[in-house]
Amino acid sequence: MLRAAVISLLIVSSASAQDLEPRAYSPSPIGTNFVVISATRSAGGVFTDPSLPITNVDATTGALGLAYGHTFELFGRQALILGVLPVAWGEASGDIGEQRRTASRRGLADPRVRLSVILKGSPAMTREEFARAPRRTLVGVSLTAAPPLGQYDSAKLVNLGSNRWSFKPEIGLSQPAGRWTIDVYAALLLFTSNDSFYPGASVRRQDPIVALQSHLSYTVARRCWVSVNGTWYTGGRTSIDGVDKADLQRNTRLGATVAIPAGARQSIKVAYSGGATTRIGADFRTITLAWQIVF
């Protein structure tokens, strides 16, 4: 059971790199608030370190997320602060020799806080100014931090929390072209060490992950759009007590997103993604349903 649980660590370590976020740097008037309730389900196989005696690994995970965001002025530019609180559950199984082993967990996962600023193309604007403003090329930056507040027990190998901080600095470019919008992002995922790794006294470290995203979206009508998405990420090799593992990630994911208005201040978003190429880590098919309320 303990060795089979290694797959949960792979799922957690690459989750941020797998994110596909079209229109992440879209402008909004200052003083805008929004709440998002989301549900996500992922299922598929996991490619593990070849040195581990684990085969036929499968996993299913789910999460409910509650997010709150607020736009404000920062040195004359539009800024957005966003917090996400996720509750997650999952079950993973794999073959060790001739035995099938299973592990499951449910509880609070590590939350995330994201600060983004549009550096070029959208100064801080009131609602009246925003309504008159033309679409422009946007350049934005963001920093996402995930504190180690999720469920974690150093006596267990399977955990929803990672017992370490992670940081994701990112730069994004958004180029409008009529009803089309092209987004390109580049990010670096950084991790502190987990000094209480199983069985409680081991130290687990992870190298940075480089992640690139691209999105092509089309506006069907006001607040209604569709997009095709892709991400490529590499890095993330881990070590335990100074011993390197053969788990370098070099993966690609593709997906699509549909956003539909549901009244004057609400919208529904449906997103799907799947692994195009997976060297190490989770080769998941993921679907997300999100309900957003703006006020």
Higher pLDDT, 131 or 215: 215
Q: Quote the CA–CA distance of 229 and 221 in Å, as a whole number.
A: 20
Q: Which two tokens stand for residue 263?
A: 């009244």
Residues 125-137: pLDDT tens digits? 999 999 899 999 9
Q: What is the dotted CATH code of the domain comprising 6-294?
A: 2.40.128.130
Statement: residue 179 has pLDDT above 60 = yes
The arithmetic mean of pLDDT across residues 228-256, rounded, is 93
Domain positions in the chain: 6-294
The identity of residue 287, as a single letter, is I
Query: What is the reported pTM?
Result: 0.89
DSSP letter for each residue of 95-154: EETTEEEEEEEEEEPPPEEEEEEEEES-B---HHHHHHPPP--EEEEEEEEE-S-S---T
pLDDT over 50 at 42, yes or no: yes
Which pLDDT belongs to residue 16?
65
7 pLDDT above the threshold of 70: no
Tokens 């190490």 map to which residue? 280
Q: Which of 229, 242, 235 is nearest to 281 (CA)?
A: 235
Give the pLDDT mean for 81-94: 90
